[in-house]
Amino acid sequence: MSTKRNGTLNKEIVWKAIKDAFKKLDPRIMARNPVMSVVEIGFVITLLLSILPNFFGGTSDRGYNIAVSVILLVTILFANFSEALAEGRGKAQADSLKKTKQDTKAKLFQKDGYIKIVDATELRKGDIVLVETNDLIPTDGDVIEGVAAVDESAITGESAPVIKESGGDFCSVTGGTKVISDFIKIVVTSDPGESFLDRMIHLVEGAKRQKTPNEIALSTLLVSLTLIFLLVCTTLVPIASYIKVTLPITTLVALLVCLIPTTIGGLLSAIGIAGMDRVTQFNVIAMSGKAVEAAGDINTIILDKTGTITHGNRMASAFLPVKGISQAKLNKVAVHSSLHDETPEGRSVIELAKKAGLSDKELDKAGTVGIEFTAETRMSGTDFSDGRKIRKGAADSIRQYIQQQGGKVPGDLESITNEVATAGGTPLVVTEGNCVLGVIYLKDTVKPGMRERFDELRKMGIKTVMCTGDNPLTASTIAKEAGVDDFIAEAKPEDKISVIKQEQAQGKLVAMTGDGTNDAPALAQADVGLAMNTGTIAAKEAANMVDLDSDPTKIIEVVAIGKQLLMTRGALTTFSIANDVAKYFAIIPAMFMLAIPQMKALNIMNLATPQSAILSALIFNAIIIPLLIPLAMKGVKYVPMSASKLLKKNLFIYGLGGVIVPFIGIKLIDILLVMLQVA
């Protein structure tokens, strides 16, 4: 099991956040948060009134002005602290990643074949380097020769080594990881400053993140509410003057600060940063906050079968000859078809034949040319210098190939392939020239716990679709065993894109997981593309999220975190706006009841004095921000349920709670202030 990154706070992070809270008082920085910027302007005005009590015709009560000024400053600092705290955790993670960037040396192959020791920073795309036991991999690349165990704990937190080998979807290596056995040759796939580790460091530094569309929309709403309450407070002056009531400027500032959505305004940035931080704690690197938010609204998930739902390394488990062909003949030709196949699948064919007693001389590649597998032909094989052409591939592709060669398909071939497919395996048909010799039975198994995971997604209202290049029978068996909602068999890369586009055309948001180069187009098309870290560079570059643990089921956690982010923002917005009701009943009566005794009827909290009422509301408005920081950082707990039930639950907790809690809090603070005055 993977080890999650440490997301806990420590004294160093908290102390730095406190210092950053003061640095963020810079008006140029505060301008990025219009709500808190208004509070800062209010602080400046009350500070001036504290120094010059009669400034702008203000009240001469210097102590009252100072108290309001201090409370406003504390409010701003608490809001800045929440943002700095969230940023601090991201920066701490970035610092831990930077430790893996050392002055690494690389063994670079020269044109003459000799090896030259160079700095890793001198490597460029296309260079070929040798990495041996106990060497750090200098930069990102693909393995082109050799097999090695690689320690990726510096990146993933996972202590178990990962086997990296040439061919297939497990050839990608990451700079900063370490080879702990054997050796590999890699071709460099990134220039300095463009490696995966460099991108990770940049992405987890939350201070540089861009606001998401939902966050921008909410910010616009908060600014609109602030302008509305500013107009309301401004119009109170002529109304009060008409009824011959003098409203102190300090009191008007206090009213404005209490009515505008300062709670959510102070926590909004922290919620977004913490959302990305929670994803990172699950060892998933999100390329943007937009991707995390989109995950919360996902309707459909497209999953690649091989390596995602199943273990991925399909291994040859049997050679099944057609009628009239000997077992020895099929074993020999099956090996010849895999001479140049460097994938785990191809090597398993050779290993199985060796166990069956095939001699090593049959592995001689002299006079042969390898034919690589392509998504179009869905075949691979070997051409011999004597004219022999041996192929292996999907049953339908081989049928077309045989017919083009003028051959006939054996009558029992279909029954053999159906038998393999029904058992959940993948049949690879082997042919020599225009003659079919038999079937290689490739066996792959569904990962444990997949059915339960897909049940969770169904509870979230998310549809799962499995895409595979296997035949319909094999696909049907795997789909039934795994518990997916739908499947697409014999899928080509363009088929995956087509499915995603069809879902998107219906107004749905689609997520896609994958690890291979052939998954890259679909990962780019999907609203949320989650690539596996063990996958190819192409897949990781196309996706907007990368799972460092290479666990495709992690998409469930990503979706839950996305929903949690949206819920947290909505819950705290509801709570913040609901707070205004209690503050209204605290401040409005206090402003007018001396001149209008009838206003005492609105003092339902029975607050002691007008000044204590205003100060109590202001103090509560300030302290509620740090009290909600843990919720903003951790997020509202998400439990799979229908949208209507979720809405009712959150309205009850954060809507009704947002009304009740301030009444209790303001009353308790008022009692405390009275006790302090008496003392």
Lowest mean pLDDT among 40-44, 262-266, 579-583: 579-583
**Percent above pLDDT 90 for the chain:** 19
If you classify domain 284-309+447-548 with CATH, what class do you get? alpha beta
Q: Could you give the residue numbers annotated as active site?
A: 304
Could you tell me the residue ranges of all domains in the chain?
11-93+206-280+560-676, 123-191, 284-309+447-548, 313-445
Strands, E assignment, 241-348: 284-286, 300-304, 315-321
Q: How far out from the chain centre does Cα 43 lie?
A: 39
Task: Quickly tell me which residue has 């180069």 as its tokens.
Answer: 517
Regarding predicted confidence, which is higher, 544 or 551?
544
Whether 277 contacts 86, CB under 8 Å: yes
pLDDT tens figures, 49-77: 888 777 665 555 788 889 999 999 999 99
Instruction: Label residues 421-454 b or e (16+ Cβ within 10 Å = b).
Output: beebbbbbbbbbeebbbbbbbbbbebbeebeebb
Q: Which of 503, 501, 527, 502 is nearest to 513 (CA)?
A: 527
Q: CATH second-level architecture of 313-445? A: 3-Layer(aba) Sandwich (3.40)
Fold (CATH) for 123-191:
2.70.150
Closest CA relative to residue 349, chosen from 374, 373, 319, 306: 319
pLDDT at 156: 57
Binding site for Mg(2+), by residue number, is 515, 519
Among 35, 46, 34, CA closest to 73: 46
Q: Which of 449, 568, 93 is nearest to 283 (CA)?
A: 93
CB-count exposure of residue 335 (10 Å: 0-12, 13-18, 19+) = buried
Residue 85 has pLDDT above 90, yes or no: no
pLDDT of residue 6: 44
Percentage of the chain exceeding pLDDT 70: 88
Q: pLDDT, tens digit, for every residue of 389-448?
A: 999 998 888 999 998 888 888 989 989 998 888 877 888 999 999 999 999 998 877 777
Task: Say yes or no to pLDDT of 41 above 90.
Answer: yes
Residues belonging to the binding site for ATP are 341, 345, 373-380, 392
DSSP per-residue codes, 397-409? HHHHHHHHTT---
pLDDT tens digits for 119-153? 887 888 889 999 988 888 888 888 888 888 888 76
Whether residue 395 contacts residue 471, with contact meaning beta carbons closer than 8 Å, is answered with yes
Q: Sheet of 162-165: strands edge to edge? A: 162-165, 147-151, 178-182
